[in-house]
Amino acid sequence: MERTLSIIKPDGVRKNVIGEVIRRFEAAGIHIAAMKMLRLTKAEAQGFYAVHKERPFFDSLTDFMSSGPIVVMVMEGEEVIKKNRELMGATNFKDAAPGTIRRDFATDIEQNVVHGSDAPETAAFEISYFFNALEICS
Ligand code: CMP
């Protein structure tokens, strides 16, 4: 059993696809173990995406991620990191496979509806950024 962090980004919330995104996760057999809606400050977005701080898109990305509410979830399941990334599709929606969340709902490489951890180590950091142990229901 593995855990990953999923975020429905501000554009996903604005597009009213929270329910549809979660429906796809559940239909794929993924269990939601924790969930909340919140709005990041710019500094909190910078802390979450610190790994990208040298990238040219860092300032714009953290402006976007603090532009409105997000939904953060801990998801559990076998190979859930990989499964979630398959459901999301490629970072750039133009490269994402048909039927993936980003292909269906994203309009921009930055405003790409969802985020998902890319490895067990990043999942551990990202989950602990938003949730403490008592908030996660296995
Ligand atoms: P995410 O999977 O959350 O990881 C980092 C985010 O940076 C990515 O989704 C996009 O929102 C954004 N991103 C990645 N590459 C680019 C890029 N070339 N230009 C702008 N934003 C990007």
- Catalytic residue list contains 115: yes
Q: Which of 109, 111, 129 to mutate to test the pocket of ligand 1 (most atoms within 8 A of CB)?
A: 109
Q: Is the CB of 110 under 6 A from ligand 1?
A: yes
Reported as a single tens digit per residue, the pLDDT across 78-127 is: 999 999 999 999 999 999 999 999 999 999 999 999 999 999 999 999 99
Alpha carbons 81 and 112: distance in angstroms, whole number: 18
Give the whole-angstrom CA distance, residue 23 versus residue 71.
Answer: 14
**113-137 pLDDT, tens digit each:** 999 999 999 999 999 999 999 999 9
Helix (H, G, I), strand (E, B) or coil at 73: strand
pLDDT digits (tens, 9 = 90+) for 36-56: 999 999 999 999 999 999 999
Q: Could you give the CA distance from residue 34 to residue 138 in angstroms, rounded to a whole number?
A: 9
